[in-house]
Structure 1
Amino acid sequence: MTDLTARTLQGSELDDYFDVFRAAFLLDDELLHFRGVLDAGRSHGVFDGDELIGVASRLAPRLALPGGTSAPLAAVTAVGVKPGHRRRGVLTRLMRAQLHSLHEDGGAPVAALYASEGAIYGRFGYAVGTYEAKLSVPGKTPFKSTVDIDPRPVRELGREAALEFVHRFYPTVERDHAGRLSRDDSAWEVRVAADRPGDAGEGKPRFAVHPDGYAIYRPEKGWNDRGPDFKLHVQELVAATPRAYAALWRYLLDVDFAGEVRWDKAAVDEPVVHLLANPRTAGRRVVDGLWLRLVDLDRALRARTYSAPLDTVLEVTDAFCPWNAGRWRLRVDDDGNAEVTRSEDAAALDVDITDLASVYLGGNTFAGLARAGRLGDADPDALRRASRAFATDVAPHCQEGF
């Protein structure tokens, strides 16, 4: 058997990269629009001799963290192994090459991905760090009479005018919600508002703009015996105030022909449910969102701020990235700022790196992990203090795929 080798790719190898990925995911030409955002210098390949058989890349946005800070993110994407070469350790080599290069280069302290299968990435230190709701609300659903709706109108804008507005508006609220990603022009064009029909039969994006927010949605045509039964698929909804949020939702629900408004990547604590006269009309199914990986534990824990003071020692295991393993003291001051240092003191909590990843953005708690048996016989007081420090007022949420 030929020895497998892993290395960073060269620009001339990107065509081969996409051939491998399309074969792995049984795709045709769906990825042509994605070509412009992948950088060979951030892409790894595994070779069997001269044949490229496994690929993984990463984008380089910033990730909004609890407390209004942000950090560089390795947004892992387009990972695939060529059919006929599976079960040979190719994915393990890709993940090791990617994570070790981030550590050695002092790159992003956190990595994230969307997992095609839930059983794959835990062995590489990834864990579910955010959740999202598949949300549906029937068209024309009434609000409670007490809902305060911003009276300023929501207007449909053409693509060019709308993108000019959202490019200016989004950065003003980007860091207000942990889990959101920064965007350059290519991110808007490829990940958020691509000017092409959706993958499930939806039309091109439309833009509903309010002075304090916007919604990007795609209509899906539909008719039944009673008449029009369109579905509006929300791509993204961002608002700076509760009144603007209510105005945008009221606009979408009242669109002529709309029988239902769907949002497959809504937050699990989406406020619209509290606006409805009958909250049961909102259908919700919660699924995993971002899977997180702490590349460099100390840099990652220092990057975010915390909700309560804390002084604790963590005994961390990390079989895949051994530089994170060992005993760490996490001190958080009254302002939520953290100091992270090696320690020889007795540990209050024994955690795997996956446990830290799952609580990092506030999507899970140490106490919840303990109830699942993840943390062994942890001291209850240490669990409570750690859970409070890592907690967030708003559930972390990423509105976009990558």
Structure 2
Amino acid sequence: MTTVTPRIRSLTETDFDAFHDATSSAFLFPATDAARQRERDLFDLRRFHGAFDGDEMIGGAGILSKNMTLPGTGMRPVAAVTAVGTTPDNRRRGVLTGLMRAQLDQLHNDAAEPIATLWCSEAGIYGRFGYGLATTRFFTTVPRGATFMSTVDCGSDRVRELPREAALVAFKEVYNRVAPRRIGWLSRTDASWEQWYLDDEQQRGRYSPMRFAVHPNAYAAYRVRSNWTISGPRHELVAHEIVSADPVSHAAIWRYLLDIDLIGEMKYDNLAMDDPLPHMLVDYRAADRRIGDALWIRLVDVDRALTERRYSAPAALVVELTDAFCPWNAGRWRLTVDADGVAQVRRTESSPDLAMDVADLGALFLGGTSAVALAGAGRVKEVEPGSLVRLAMAFATEHQPSCAELF
């Protein structure tokens, strides 16, 4: 394909329909009225860009203004990148690169959020723009009726199924209590709740409308696909979201889902890496799990980004950083962490202790990727012996990061 130089600009209100049509085409789905209306509610003209070939919009990308729970500091502003796409007949022509350049330059020049994050459609795309894989998730299948260990306490509170509107009121109350304590979780506006819980026919596919299970300290939303076999019903339950505030409510909501009649098995594609579910089961293998990528993190301005979180151990390290896409980050940085986990980051000419690319630093940022594993893969280079362990200890977190929603 011939590389083009697309004209990239911020969008206006009159661009919305063209943007929605272009990005829907990029993902090979029709543009529905329900999705169009909910996306319009999220459409922030200052933060969405379009790529144009002449007057035709051939791609787009947007940023949602979010807060994310970071290690030790709670919810902090991040740029949640969304709706990135190029129309099928314009791929591999430089469009995506132009959109990423416009986004990151704007964030840097405006001294806006120092951290960008996204979910990606294909895992090989965003590393070249400095994004690193920061969290992973389990795609999980569990048979109906899977037995819990006798030590598991499900409490005495009842789980009830409620209509959508009443359920979402309860969901929001629980989520707002839980999200500030879970690394990687995002703030949600009313518009983002509506987008995440969009339930039109395109979203359902072959599954039922969404159902809503509510516990005083937990909730679950799920769909069901019919499967009547000669030996009886073995419907498939697919959880959309499962949130719990404590171990008892976590056990209770899972017990409810696993005991629903007529179900053969349940699936959940966003189980946190350290979720206790497998350890709750008598048969550990009953939770059949596959690992997939989840959040990718891009440190837009390294010096500002690294001070946004707290660290688990004191450290004094010089990191030599490469960043081909955002060269203002390249060079040597001194990371100094005090006994309270507070960091200072300064430019330095001192000899490096470690060397890595900005994408690898993004992968480390939430504590979900091992510095030792990256070193073993040849992506982090230890220059000064012992510095890798110090780096790993500083970035370690109490629990694994995750993200409750795709955006």
Match of 2:30 among 28, 31, 45: 28
Q: TM-score, normalised by structure 1?
A: 0.95
Residue of structure 2 in register with 1:337 after alignment: 342
1:372 aligns with 2:374: no
1:251 aligns with 2:256: yes
> Post-superposition shift, 1:87?
2.5
Q: TM-score, normalised by structure 2?
A: 0.94
The answer to whether the 8 A contact 1:71-1:109 is kept is: no
Q: Distance in 1 between matches of 2:71 and 2:323?
A: 24
1:118 aligns with 2:123: yes
The answer to whether the 8 A contact 1:218-1:234 is kept is: yes
Residue of structure 1 in register with 2:318 after alignment: 313
> Post-superposition shift, 1:377?
4.4
Residue of structure 1 in register with 2:87 after alignment: 82
Report matched runs for 1:2-401 at 5 Å. 4-30=6-32, 31-32=35-36, 33-191=38-196, 193-197=197-201, 198-401=203-406
Secondary structure of the corresponding residue to residue 351 of structure 1: strand
> Post-superposition shift, 1:3?
5.1
Q: How big is each residue's C-alpha offset from its partner over 1:183-203, in whole Å with a ceiling of 9 and x where there is no partner? A: 011111111x22435444222
Q: How big is each residue's C-alpha offset from its partner over 1:68-116, in whole Å with a ceiling of 9 and x where there is no partner? A: 5222121111111123323221111110000110111121111111211
Q: Distance in 2 between matches of 1:286 and 1:83?
A: 29
Q: Distance in 2 between matches of 1:338 and 1:2?
A: 43
The answer to whether the 8 A contact 2:6-2:94 is kept is: no
Q: Distance in 2 between matches of 1:160 and 1:81?
A: 35
The answer to whether the 8 A contact 2:5-2:94 is kept is: no
Matched AA of 1:322: P
Unpaired stretches in structure 2, ≥5 consecutive residues: none
Matched AA of 2:198: A
Matched AA of 1:386: L
Matched AA of 2:15: E
Q: Distance in 1 between matches of 2:206 and 2:111?
A: 42
Q: In structure 2, do the counterparts of structure 1 residues 372 and 4 end up closer, same or farther at CA, with 3 Å as the change threshold? A: same
Secondary structure of the corresponding residue to residue 362 of structure 1: coil
Q: How big is each residue's C-alpha offset from its partner over 1:153-182, in whole Å with a ceiling of 9 and x where there is no partner? A: 111122222111121221111121111111
Secondary structure of the corresponding residue to residue 89 of structure 2: coil
The answer to whether the 8 A contact 1:70-1:304 is kept is: no
Unpaired stretches in structure 1, ≥5 consecutive residues: none
The answer to whether the 8 A contact 2:4-2:95 is kept is: no
More moved, 255-264 vs 40-49: 40-49
The answer to whether the 8 A contact 1:6-1:44 is kept is: yes
Q: How big is each residue's C-alpha offset from its partner over 1:337-378, in whole Å with a ceiling of 9 and x where there is no partner? A: 111122222211111101101111111122111111112343
User: Between the two proteins, what is the percent identity of the paired residues?
Assistant: 47
More moved, 77-86 vs 136-145: 77-86
Matched AA of 1:194: L
> Post-superposition shift, 1:205?
2.0
